[in-house]
Amino acid sequence: MLGDGSRANKAFALAEEALLYVDNDDYYQTSLRDIAAMIAIASEVNNQDFLDKLTLSLANEMKSTDRMHTQEKAFLLLASAALIDKAGDIQISMNNLPAENRGKLPAFHLDATELAAGVTLTNVGASNIYRNVSMFGVSKIAPEAVDSGYKISKKYFNLQGEPIDLNSLQQNDRVIVQINATPEDYQTHPTMIVDMLPAGFEIETLLTTEDAGKQGVYSWLGDLTEAQVAEARDDRYVAAIDLTVSTYNNYYRGCAGTANLAYVARVVTPGEFSLPGVFVEDMYRPGVTSHTDVSRITIEPAQ
């Protein structure tokens, strides 16, 4: 902006060398975030050569939106706005006919028949256009269990601490659901645990540290972990807790090594239902997540 192009180019070159570093102790730092931020800066000062190289790097680092954290999304919005502003009007033909929609963000609305027949979009302008394809839908089959950064398990007991058969439940039974989650590395993980309820269950009460341990009614659960947040919602159990297996972080940051959580649920509706798996994720690292298998339960009417 001051007109000192030589020093600016050196600064951008140093920034480019540092772009692919990784700081595992920073919740928000990723190469995707850094590249997107630099695109916004390079566009602001009209450094086109650097902008072209960064755009290619951005394509290589891009990932699905459900695996992005808030910082990545925010800087991608800035980068997208900068690139769209620089691009000018996009020139596209559809099926070899000039597109009716022009401008910086043309849109095409196709019905099922047109999609089935096939659509060809062609760049007829002088500038590059980068394509990204996203598809959304609901799977016909339940997802398999995933371990990607955590070990997690869920067990069911009666009030005496005996394992129960989920295919022989009766209406009005009460069950204790125990959840254990442990991270697989030594980083600090601000962790969210979500356990969706089967349609025939309702949460009756959340168990606390006083309910278990050596003096608690449910001592067989062991020492329960105190979560920062624990909620009984209509269709799910939700807990937030900081976890790490590092002794250093446990001592200085008040983290737990393993989450040992539990709640009491009442069986309210007879029938056969899907039993969702329990889900855990790092709130700032969306790719660090695990969940258990989905299964089925059978609930008989009360005698």
Domain that holds residue 154: 146-300
pTM for this entry: 0.72
Cα 203 to Cα 39: distance, rounded to the nearest angstrom: 48
Tell whether 81 and 188 lie within a shared domain.
Answer: no
Quick one: which of 287, 98, 276 has its CA closest to 199? 276
- One domain for residues 168 and 294: yes
- CA–CA–CA angle 212, 218, 222 (5° rounding): 50
Residues 165, 20 share a domain: no
Residue 94's SS3 state is: strand
Answer yes or no: do 83 and 159 share one domain: no
Q: Which of 87, 106, 129 is the last residue of a domain?
A: 87
User: Which residues lie across from 265 on neighbouring strands?
Assistant: 175, 203
User: CA–CA separation, 226 vs 207, rounded Å?
Assistant: 10
pLDDT in tens, the chain (303 residues): 788 888 988 998 898 888 888 887 777 888 999 999 999 999 988 888 888 888 888 888 888 877 888 899 999 999 989 888 877 777 888 888 776 656 777 777 788 898 899 988 888 887 777 777 777 788 888 888 999 999 999 999 999 999 999 988 999 999 999 999 999 988 888 999 999 999 999 999 999 999 999 989 999 999 999 999 999 999 999 999 999 887 666 655 667 889 999 999 999 999 999 999 999 999 888 788 999 999 999 999 987
Q: Looking at the 3D structure of the chain, how many domains does it have? A: 2
Are 296 and 171 contained in the same domain? Answer: yes
Same domain, 154 and 293: yes
Cβ-based burial of 294 (10 A; exposed 0-12, middle 13-18, buried ≥19): middle
Report how far residue 292's alpha carbon sits from residue 147's, in angstroms, rounded to the nearest whole number: 8
